[in-house]
Amino acid sequence: MARPRKTDQTKSTNDTASRSGNKGTRKGTLSNAEARREYQRRYYQMHKEKAKEYQRQYNLTHKKKSRGGRGRSNFSCPREVVRSTFNSTDIMHAPVEKTLKMLEKIINGERFFTM
C-alpha cells in the first residue's frame, strides 16, 4: 500500500477539524468557551432527572400567581391594603372629602397617624 504524502495528511486533518466545528485547533483540544459548553452540556445530561424532580416538588409546594391574561377585562384581582398609616402630607394634599375619610379612619382606629 502506498504511503500518502504529507500534504494530503495535513489537508485531511484540517478538513475533519473544519467539519467538526473546531477551526484551526487540533483534534482533542477545545478552546475555553467550547470546553465550558461541553462541560455544561454533560453536567445537564447527568443531572437532568434530578432537576426535573426538583421542579416538580417546587411546583407542588409553591402557589402560582393568578393571572388575568389578555382579553379578560372583567377579571378583577382585589388588592390588599398594605399601608396602615397616614402622615401629615397625605392629609394636607388630599381633597376635602378624602381628608374627612382619612380622619374618620384614624379616629375609629382603622389606621394610624404618623408625623
* pLDDT 10s digits, 31-45: 999 999 999 999 999
Residue 28 has pLDDT above 60, yes or no: yes
Is the Cα dihedral 11, 15, 16, 22 positive or negative?
positive
Domain assignment of residue 101, yes or no: yes
pTM for this entry = 0.30
Domain assignment of residue 13, yes or no: no
**Residues 42-80: tens digit of each pLDDT:** 999 999 999 999 998 988 888 777 666 666 566 666 766
Domain assignment of residue 60, yes or no: no
Q: Are 17 and 23 in contact (CB under 8 A)?
A: yes
Domain assignment of residue 57, yes or no: no
Domain span at residue 104?
A: 85-114
> What is residue 62's predicted lDDT score, i.e. its pLDDT?
84
> What is residue 43's predicted lDDT score, i.e. its pLDDT?
94
Q: Which three cell numbers stand for residue 86?
A: 397616614
Domain assignment of residue 100, yes or no: yes
> What is residue 1's predicted lDDT score, i.e. its pLDDT?
52
Domain assignment of residue 95, yes or no: yes
User: DSSP H helical segments within the chain, as ranges?
Assistant: 6-20, 32-61, 88-93, 96-108
d(CA 38, CA 22) in angstroms, rounded, equals 13
Number of folded domains in the chain?
Answer: 1
Domain assignment of residue 90, yes or no: yes
